Structure 1
Amino acid sequence: MSQILDPLPQDQKASLLCCYVNATSQIQIARITNIENWYFERVVFPGQRLVFEALPQAQLEIHSGMMASSILSDIIPCERLSVNNSLEEEADSALPRSGQDSRPSSSDNFRSPLETAASTKEKVILA
């Protein structure tokens, strides 16, 4: 991912793809200030998703507030915001463990599409 305005320091090889969502009703400022020779700052509107690259040791500061005031409301390690880690964990949990059968068993309450459609139709008729 290209960050034209704030490229990561050239001497750093590892980077994380991170995502932060402003789940509040206020405008927030997201900053990273703990990385030497690099400064990152973005305005994040309510409901907006901010996707950015950062170094593993970076900490995202979230500032919020009203007119002419800013309150540091949270500091989040960028490792916790990493999209790559989330995707890897989801993929690992979705894969069957070695020696396990990936097919559903009768104990999984597996129903075929026809059985599902039939039970839905019964519910509609009864209602």
Structure 2
Amino acid sequence: MTSTPNVATLKENPILCYYTNRTGKVQVVRVSNIPNWYFERVVFPGQRLIFEAYEQGQLEVYSGAMASAVLADSISCNRLQINPLE
């Protein structure tokens, strides 16, 4: 279970994140632990997804049949951050 960060502790600007579905199954990904923030997408096998989220967010990855999708992974959004060129 992921914790919900306090709104006051969120960084002001979201970060740019990158996720790839490396499985052969359709996945549903979502960030659900940020107050007043909604992000949910279907990601097909091999599909790449670029999205914005807060660093404290947790990307939940659901896999399996849509009627019985199971939480397969939870990844911290700061681990998915795209590093800008320096």
Distance 1:78 1:39, change over 3 A: same
- Ranked by relative contact order (alpha carbons within 8 Å, sequence separation 6 or more), the top structure is 2
Q: Which residue of structure 1 aligns with residue 20 of structure 2?
A: 21
Q: Which residue of structure 2 aligns with residue 32 of structure 1?
A: 31
1:79-118 aligned at under 5 Å gives the runs 79-84=78-83, 87=84
**Structure whose CA Rg is larger:** 1
What is the TM-score of this pair, normalised by structure 1?
0.57
The count of residues paired between Structure 1 and Structure 2 equals: 78
**8 Å CA contact retained: 1:14, 1:56:** no
Structure with the higher strand share, 1 or 2: 2
Distance 1:71 1:53, change over 3 A: same
Q: Which residue of structure 2 aligns with residue 73 of structure 1?
A: 72
Structure with the higher helix share, 1 or 2: 1
What is the TM-score of this pair, normalised by structure 2?
0.82
* Residue ranges of structure 2 left out of the alignment (5+ in a row): 1-9
- Take 2:79 and 2:66, find their aligned partners in 1: how far apart are those partners? 30
